[in-house]
Amino acid sequence: MRKKIVAANWKMNLDLTEGAELVNDIFNGSPQLTEHKIVVIAPPFIHLTHTGAQLVGMNHVHLGAQNCYSEASGAYTGEISAAMLKSAEVEYVIIGHSERREYFHEDDAMLAKKVNLALANGLKVIFCCGEPLAIRDANDQNAYVESQLIAGLFHLPVTALTDITIAYEPIWAIGTGRTATSAQAQDMHAHIRTVLGNKYGDTVAADTSILYGGSCKPSNAAELFACPDVDGGLIGGASLKAAEFLGIVAAMSNA
């Protein structure tokens, strides 16, 4: 049975005090979670040990990181390895976010290396895909996203797929206030599941969680999460305010 997941991607926001307050407020909001309806919180690296300590005893809330480096160790000033994340008790790592692809020039080959290192170190991967507006306008989004999945993931053996979650984040919907319609999200998520099924079989496809990201908020989360192939969300801006984030988590809990 695949999990429903609401994951918070704080991006480069919140200092240590603000982050601790936010986690505290989320805890006090008593989100209704189960083994199959979980939350992941991915703060900036500097928060990880502190946030991790706060999450001890919070059932079904897991620690995530926003990135890791594509080499195992060595002279890469400023970078953080998958093994370091594992040693900090991180469980999930986001790989391939469009902001990493665009601003930090992370290409498919680099992302595939990151995926390999993350899995080799026992982390679960939230692998991001999604098309820019020009591709959507040309109605080429299905082929574009399929090529991202092939390049980033399809070298993996089938056994690795249990540790992969996919996040579909159309770039034109990230931070813009313009959400994909639930029909657009469902169409793409169904396409992603078909692509996974063609490569890895129907069971893997049915068991893989596929999250939607891009201007997801309490007012649209319920409709998005009601789609049969939308298994939750990867949340940016609305994950920075406890009330909004809890509203989105409640939409998952009720889905």
Q: Which stretch binds ligand 13P (CB under 6 A): 72-80, 84-92, 139-147, 230-238?
A: 230-238
**One of 106, 169, 229, 231 touching ligand 13P (CB under 6 A):** 169
- 166 interacts with ligand 13P by CB under 6 A: no
- 102 interacts with ligand 13P by CB under 6 A: no
Residues numbered 188 to 217 that lie near ligand 13P (CB under 6 A) are 213-216
Instruction: Output 63 or 234, the one with its CB closest to ligand 13P.
Output: 234
Distances (CA, A) of 154 to 119, 157, 188: 14, 8, 18
The helix/strand/coil state of 132 is coil
AA letter at 48: L
Beta strands in the chain (DSSP E): 4-9, 37-42, 61-65, 92-95, 124-129, 164-168, 210-212, 232-235
CA dist., res. 116 & res. 155, Å (int) = 9
- 8 interacts with ligand 13P by CB under 6 A: no
Tokens of 112: 């595939």
Instruction: Output 44 or 236, the one with its CB closest to ligand 13P.
Output: 236
- 248 interacts with ligand 13P by CB under 6 A: no
AA letter at 119: L
Distances (CA, A) of 183 to 87, 187, 226: 41, 6, 11
Tokens of 133: 């507006």
Instruction: Output 200 or 212, the one with its CB closest to ligand 13P.
Output: 212
Instruction: Output 172 or 200, the one with its CB closest to ligand 13P.
Output: 172
AA letter at 186: Q
**One of 61, 135, 180, 234 touching ligand 13P (CB under 6 A):** 234
Active site residues: 97, 169
| List of residues contacting ligand 13P (CB under 6 A) | 9, 97, 169, 174-175, 213-216, 234-238
